[in-house]
Structure 1
């Protein structure tokens, strides 16, 4: 009896195997035929909140060049200029403009007494 069950299971598996690939098929992943080429930039300067930052980048194939900047809380402007060329990796030059400013220490907050 046990041999009959084993043989029946093997026959069922053999008949269940599909002879053709699935109908939905397999699509190969997208391949890009042309090298990447783009150029973009943006900038934000908000006097009210003190935000000042931006970014610029250009790419042509494996050659990428760009820069970004941000106003730091201490008043300095941090600028990063970078290049990427093939397998050379990300090469960045960081610079700062201005002098760091630290506000004078403010006295601690003391709430007014409450007479309730």
Structure 2
């Protein structure tokens, strides 16, 4: 029989990476004590962010401030550059990305960004 002596809630972030994609989860845990042991009971609450590694597939790809072709161009990207794709904030035609080379965040057409595929 469990005897709850003390109750304290902990909030933490659980991150893991699988084949180049990273998932982040917010979670809660409860400290429970019985007669012989202290242990933590926890559960995952909800996914917070989902991203993928990507590669630019053309020269002169526009990194834009907003996800449309009339938006301000922040930088030009070139074939082979690495980007991190924020899938949660992407649209049907534009990826929300972070350019690895400069750290600049913006939007680029999905036509010119390829999600990296990793082989085990």
TM-score, scaled relative to structure 2 = 0.30
- How high is the TM-score relative to the length of structure 1? 0.31
1 or 2, which has the higher strand percentage? 2
- With a CA cutoff of 8 Å and minimum separation of 6, indicate the structure with the bigger relative contact order: 2
Higher share of residues assigned helix: 1
